[in-house]
Structure 1
Amino acid sequence: MPHPDFKPLSLMSAHPVAVNAEPWTPFPWSDVPRYDARSVAAHWPRLHAGHELPVPPETSPLAEGWALYHSGEFERAAAIGLLNGAEGMALANQATAIYANYLEPREAVRLAMFRQVIERAGTQVAAEPENCQALYWQSYALGRYSQGISVARALAQGLGSKLKGALERVIELQPRHADAHLALASFHAEVIDKVGALVGRMTYGVRSETSIDLFERGLELHPHSAAGMMEFARALLMLHGESLLGDATRLYERAAALKPADARERLDVELARAGLKD
């Protein structure tokens, strides 16, 4: 069973408004749930189970922006987020990062978009050191960037420590932030896979047992996370090899069987299904 086809990212200077001069690739499936400002608020706890984000008022532009995001209208959602200042930055960064990771086919554009997320979130963290959304999306972009340039190279540049510190801070501030648990779990496994358990523990403070504990806690907090299940499957193979192929496959099967609640989950379920076919 192959690893999930998560696409890499890289760095470029940020643009103040336009995320990409050319139109974004449309969401490829028509059967995704559609939301408006009212229905997105009603389904907010399920849609945002991975992180603790307050629901915006139904009359605010951000309610419409989040409805567009969950319906797969990532470009329009990002534009609304960018037009709403600091309050809209979580929407802008999430829509940009998820689109770039799953749908953008052009390597250079994908890398540029992740650079924008890194820089926007980094600027917000500098002004608001306890902003968990900014810390998380900064770390998400750094993680994908690290995969893009190779984890070993990213570690040599000090990006691993920055990513790990940001995720640990999110969990400290929001102990029920499921996505941060899952991302930090993946980091532990990825570093061990690239540099070995001994070097990983002594140099970066990563441990196999910590990775497993974080995955289990993250999926306890967000049991419908198809992305978390696939990352857990990857980690099991990285940490224990073919001996846990059966466990990894069962995680893929669970992810593939989920009923997507929104566009991002639809993308994850498709990845799980594709992984089981290969």
Structure 2
Amino acid sequence: MTVSQWRTFPYEATDYDYSHEELAEHWSVLHAGDREPFPAPDWIKVLFKDIPRVAEEAGCDAQAATQQLLTGWGHFHRGDFAAAADIGESLGLVGATLWAKAQATYAHYLETDKSVQRNLLMEVSDRMEAMAKAMPGTPNAYYHRAFALGRYSQVISVAEAWKQGVAGHVKNSLEAVLDREPDHADAHTALGTYHAEIIDKMGAMFGGVTYGANRDEGVAHYQRGIELAPHSISALTEYADGLLMMYGKKKVSQATELYERAVSLDPYDALSHLDWVLAKEELS
């Protein structure tokens, strides 16, 4: 399936149309969760100097790569995930995290064919594994691999996930993120979900012995994710989902409060709008 066949963002996106200058102004909010570095010529020049392969794959100088990346992120934030993925892929390693986030976001939120969804997510996982080897100091190479594998595990059977060792790969990748960037909010939230899903599928005792899953650790990661990205709708909804997976009916009231907090926030881009819709659906 080519990106030209991807479904379009199904909501109004005019509020999320950021110019390059507006991206710079709002970057800290837009990327509070993943802490993606802002595309700047100086940062890209360092990459080009330290890793010649990055410059070769980009096929342009640092200034041009910066402008293309900003255009690509503009596409991503207004929900044109196909255009964002195209630009990211065209820039090679320097655009790889843009490509990965665009493709994984599309696959998880908008693709309806489960077979296509699995293929898209596994492609992200494989490419991010390769990126982590080529650029081991890049936290989001590990994060996007973990995200893709985690979402992949949600569309296959528990037995398949067990056989493929998905849980271990997710945990190792997320720990690699936090080793490099301890304040990566999305990684904390994803680790919370790791604990929650293991407990939900395998039980607290077996999940704890086999995978180190622990309710208290899950809650701590969720809460840290919210502290680091207080405007993140997904951090709140993932926490709510996780409480229900780990504690069931005992935490319905707290989960409901989290969903209500989530829908009270104003989405700031297409991705947060998709998260807002999911939170709204949970409440209804």
How far residue 238 of structure 1 moved from its aligned partner, in angstroms, is 1.3
- What's the TM-score once normalised by structure 2's chain length? 0.87
Moved more, 54-63 or 236-245: 54-63
Find the partner of 1:189 among 192, 196, 205. Answer: 196
CA RMSD, aligned part only? 1.5
How far residue 144 of structure 1 moved from its aligned partner, in angstroms, is 0.8
Separation in 2, partners of 1:105, 1:271 = 15
Separation in 2, partners of 1:83, 1:21 = 13
CA offset digits 1:186-209 (Å, max 9, x no partner): 001110111111111211111110
Question: What does residue 111 of structure 1 align with?
Answer: 118
Give SS of 2:137's match.
coil
Separation in 2, partners of 1:42, 1:267 = 22
Which one-letter code corresponds to 1:101 in the other structure? H
Distance 1:156 1:112, change over 3 A: closer
Alignment pair present for 1:56 and 2:39: yes
Find the partner of 1:268 among 250, 275, 284. Answer: 275
Aligned sequence identity (%): 42
Which one-letter code corresponds to 2:6 in the other structure? W
Alignment pair present for 1:37 and 2:20: yes
Q: Is the Cα contact below 8 Å between 1:201 and 1:207 reproduced in 2?
A: yes
Q: Is the Cα contact below 8 Å between 2:3 and 2:86 reproduced in 1?
A: no
Unaligned runs of 5+ in 1: 1-18
Q: Where do 1:1-278 residues align within 5 Å?
A: 20=2, 22-31=4-13, 32-57=15-40, 60-277=67-284
The answer to which structure has the higher helix fraction is 2
Which one-letter code corresponds to 1:29 in the other structure? Y
Separation in 2, partners of 1:238, 1:244 = 9
How far residue 135 of structure 1 moved from its aligned partner, in angstroms, is 0.3
CA offset digits 1:47-66 (Å, max 9, x no partner): 00002221113852101100
Separation in 2, partners of 1:257, 1:36 = 26
Question: What does residue 7 of structure 1 align with?
Answer: none
Q: Is the Cα contact below 8 Å between 2:236 and 2:262 reproduced in 1?
A: yes
**Higher relative contact order (Cα pairs below 8 Å, separated by 6+ residues):** 1
How far residue 76 of structure 1 moved from its aligned partner, in angstroms, is 0.2
Distance 1:234 1:152, change over 3 A: farther
Unaligned runs of 5+ in 2: 41-62
